[in-house]
Amino acid sequence: MSTGELLSFQPQDLQFPFELQERISCSLQLSNKTENYVAFKVKTTSPKKYCVRPNTGIVLPRSTCDVLVTMQAQKEAPPDMLCKDKFLLQSVVASPGTTTKDVTAQMFSKDAGHQVEESKLRVIYVAPPRPPSVSPVPEGSEESSSPRVSLSDNGLNASKFARARALISKLTEEKNSAIQQNSKLQQELEVWSGEASRNRGGISFVYVVLVGLIGIILLYLVRRM
């Protein structure tokens, strides 16, 4: 921070992160450490290149004021990024109650006997911040990983398919065996039924039990399928 008798300001130099074809701004803060109203004026050696808002104003006692300096878009960079532009900050004690509208060029005239304080600021171009670098992905990393995933998935599917086929084959064998047993039991029941009919004239209790048992076996097999 640079300190004068009337105003102090920061930064000491106006730094612009230079980029071609881009408008760039820099903020300048003025601080009034006195009990007086202080009028200020900002001048530059390249008025067409820079826009200063506000370029004149009043800083109230024990208060601050921000000034925005904007550099117009440049078509080419200066040699070695060195800039010869300069700014001049003028300040003078003003009457209490003075407003920005009351500030005139005559107030900063030394010929009129006004005590004008002057501070010079340089313009410095700095390189813009670089984006963070991204580590390149090694070639073939994605290609090498993809087949592994694919082979794993195929192996898992093949294993499931093999287990399913084995289960179906087992259930088919159990079904065929049950059908054969059922056929055998029906034949035996027919024989027993004939004998029971001749001996008692009706269906025996054993025949009813066997029919129920066959139905339960078939129902169990159907549910497992």
CATH number for position 31? 2.60.40.10
Q: Which residue has the tokens 């000491």?
A: 12
Whether residue 199 sits in one domain with residue 111:
no
Q: Which residue has the tokens 């006997």?
A: 113
DSSP state of 134: -
Q: How far is CA 74 from CA 16, 45, 46, in A?
A: 12, 16, 13
Work out the angle at residue 55's Cα, subtended by the Cα atoms of residues 53 and 61, and round it to the nearest 5 degrees: 100
Whether residue 108 sits in one domain with residue 28:
yes
Tell me the pLDDT tens digit for each residue of 62-117. Answer: 999 999 999 999 999 888 899 999 999 999 999 999 999 999 999 999 988 889 99
Tell me, what's the pLDDT at 225? Answer: 61
Whether residue 156 is contained in a domain is answered as no
Whether residue 150 is contained in a domain is answered as no
Whether residue 135 is contained in a domain is answered as no
Residues 58/103, Cβ–Cβ less than 8 Å: yes
| H helix and E strand count, the chain | 2, 10
Whether residue 106 is contained in a domain is answered as yes
Give the C-alpha separation, 45 to 6, whole Å.
23
Edge-to-edge order in the sheet of strand 14-17: 14-17, 117-126, 86-94, 37-44, 56-59
Tell me the pLDDT tens digit for each residue of 159-168. Answer: 677 777 777 8
What is the domain count for the chain? 2
Residue that is last in its domain, among 104, 126, 148: 126
Question: In 10 A of CB 53, how many CB atoms?
Answer: 12
Q: Which residue has the tokens 């878009």?
A: 73
Residues 18/125, Cβ–Cβ less than 8 Å: yes
Tens place of pLDDT for every residue, the chain, 225 residues?
566 789 999 999 999 999 999 999 999 999 999 999 999 999 999 999 999 999 999 999 999 999 999 999 999 988 889 999 999 999 999 999 999 999 999 999 998 888 999 999 999 998 876 766 666 655 555 544 445 545 455 555 666 777 777 778 777 777 777 777 767 777 776 766 666 556 554 455 566 666 677 777 776 665 666
Whether residue 55 sits in one domain with residue 118:
yes
Residues 107/38, Cβ–Cβ less than 8 Å: no
Tell me, what's the pLDDT at 221? Answer: 66
Whether residue 119 sits in one domain with residue 168:
no
Whether residue 146 is contained in a domain is answered as no
Instruction: Determine if the pTM surpasses 0.95.
Output: no
Whether residue 158 is contained in a domain is answered as no
3-class DSSP assignment, residue 68: strand
Q: Domain span at residue 74?
A: 2-126
The pairing of beta strand 2-3 with beta strand 56-59: unpaired
DSSP 153-181: HHHHHHHHHHHHHHHHHHHHHHHHHHHHH
Whether residue 91 sits in one domain with residue 35:
yes
Residue that is last in its domain, among 126, 144, 174: 126
Whether residue 83 sits in one domain with residue 179:
no
Whether residue 24 is contained in a domain is answered as yes
Residue that is last in its domain, among 126, 155, 183: 126
Whether residue 29 sits in one domain with residue 118:
yes
Tell me, what's the pLDDT at 151? Answer: 47
